[in-house]
Amino acid sequence: MTYPDLYLMIDGQRLSGGGRRTHRVVNPATGSVLAELPLADTADLDAALAAAARGFRRWRDSTPQERAAVLQGAARLMVERQEELARIATLEQGKTLAEARIEVMMNVGLFNFYAGEVFRLYGRTLVRPTGHRSTVTKEPVGPVAAFAPWNFPIGNPGRKLGAPIAAGCSVILKAAEETPASALAVLQCLLDAGLPGDVAQAVFGVPDEVSRHLLGSPIIRKMSFTGSTIVGKHLAKLAAEDCKRTTMELGGHGPVLIFADADLDKALDTVVAGKYRNAGQVCVSPTRFIVETAAYDHFLKGFIERAERIAIGDGLDVASVMGPMANARRLDAMDRLIGDAVAKGARLETGGARIGNAGFFFAPTILSNVPLDATIMNEEPFGPVALINAYSDKDAMVAEANRLPYGLAAYAWTADAARQRRIARELEAGMVGINTAMIGGADAPFGGVKWSGHGAEDGPEGVEACLVTKAVHEG
């Protein structure tokens, strides 16, 4: 399959060339250039804003049936185009085809869920004396500027587009310049399902230029961002200048509590697969393994055995279980973080190095006895690295899980029912997995607390985040 042509999608028009600057899109498995992506200039962004204002006036008046038909139609097209979408995602992001196919189907599930939610955007009628009437209604917030990163090239754009469309908003999506074709393919499914071209658009550009321009415009009423905490804080400040609403899905540092009474082999099978999924470039990736001393030797040995068995290769090869990292920046980050940890006394149990010199492959890595002042114990590694430390005190295990300012996903493995409930309450995280790594679903809110952001995507909360309330009082 060939990689598709790239363009900006503004007001239903495909725009490219015209002297625009370009960004080189690279296949992370080979390092070869896939295509040149046109970058938006100021005139492009102004055209997108004008269209979004028009699209909002149109779409806020759409019926739930119209919104549901678009979302369900797009879901059907994604099923039909699953293989094409998955291949595009693998080519430009590196993840295995099997993972990319799952990502497409998760998007299908989300669009179908939102298609049902559009009928449940209820308000309420207040109790008032006869002759008076007070109602609370929910209205779409307005045009949304949405920024999606490269780690889930289909799923992130799907979330950013699906919720505003369900709520009756228009949306300008700036997906990652590294993975543009996946985002364009998701948008095309919506347009082919009948969505008007001014309701959802896609731009690419120099990220800071695009975000400053869009967030500087009074047309945009909400910003939705997924990415690193540092960029999220910067964008939240820009949004605050104009009191825009925000949904922020930021970084994490997934703590995993392993108690000695847990089914250790089941835990290992689950968390090792979870750790190396998408080469660890997942915001809810299990990262800091906080292991009770009595389970430590068995857990560490089992982790190493499983990590060393993982087949690494081009995601297009069906034999591959883990693909390359998505870009060269991640290789540099791995070298820096692992080097720092080892220099500070951590033990490198396996991996720790780049594989080959074509593409961005990095070996599944395990560090043990990692000191708390190692940078990797404090900064999101976003790579195939597991950090495994032993603890003898159960309270200290929970304290370690909550030590960082991040609070996205946290996990615990224990057979003790009372402890399961206590830990679920004590962990400072937006999502908690007890004896499971499955912490998402189309019907469940996905989001964090503390530095991991605020607001949620997916579930009824995802649509709710694109609505504002209005109280109307009639005398």
Tell me which residues touch ligand NAD (CB under 6 A).
147, 149-151, 176, 207-208, 211, 226-228, 231, 235, 249-251, 283, 329, 380, 382
| CB 73, min distance to ligand NAD, A | 28
Do 299 and 409 touch, CB atoms closer than 8 A?
Answer: no
| 449-450 and 406-407 strand pairing | antiparallel
Give all strands (DSSP E) within 129-227, no chain letters.
133-140, 144-148, 171-175, 200-203, 222-226
Q: How many CB atoms lie within 10 A of CB 267?
A: 26
User: How many residues are listed for the chain in this entry?
Assistant: 475
| CB 158, min distance to ligand NAD, A | 13
| CB 45, min distance to ligand NAD, A | 13
Question: Cβ closer to ligand NAD: 23 or 81?
Answer: 23
CA distances to 140, 144, 212 from 239, in Å: 18, 11, 9
Q: Is 400 a catalytic residue?
A: no
Cα–Cα distance for residue pair 354/460, rounded to 1 Å: 42
How many Cα atoms within 13 Å fall on the side-chain side of residue 331?
A: 19
| CB 274, min distance to ligand NAD, A | 15
Name the burial class of residue 105, with classes exposed (0-12), middle (13-18) and buried (19+) by CB atoms within 10 angstroms of its CB: middle
Cα–Cα distance for residue pair 405/48, rounded to 1 Å: 36
Active-site choice (99, 117, 178, 249): 249
Question: Cβ closer to ligand NAD: 235 or 367?
Answer: 235
Cα–Cα distance for residue pair 382/333, rounded to 1 Å: 9
Residue of 429, 427, 428, 456 lying closest to 444 (CA atoms)? 456
| CB 208, min distance to ligand NAD, A | 4
Q: What residue has token string 């069906």?
A: 318
Q: Is 464 a catalytic residue?
A: no
| CB 85, min distance to ligand NAD, A | 19
Question: Cβ closer to ligand NAD: 228 or 402?
Answer: 228
Question: Cβ closer to ligand NAD: 241 or 395?
Answer: 241
Active-site choice (103, 283, 349, 380): 283
Cα–Cα distance for residue pair 11/140, rounded to 1 Å: 20
SS3 139: strand
Question: Cβ closer to ligand NAD: 380 or 458?
Answer: 380
Question: Cβ closer to ligand NAD: 96 or 151?
Answer: 151
Cα–Cα distance for residue pair 297/304, rounded to 1 Å: 11
List the catalytic residues.
249, 283
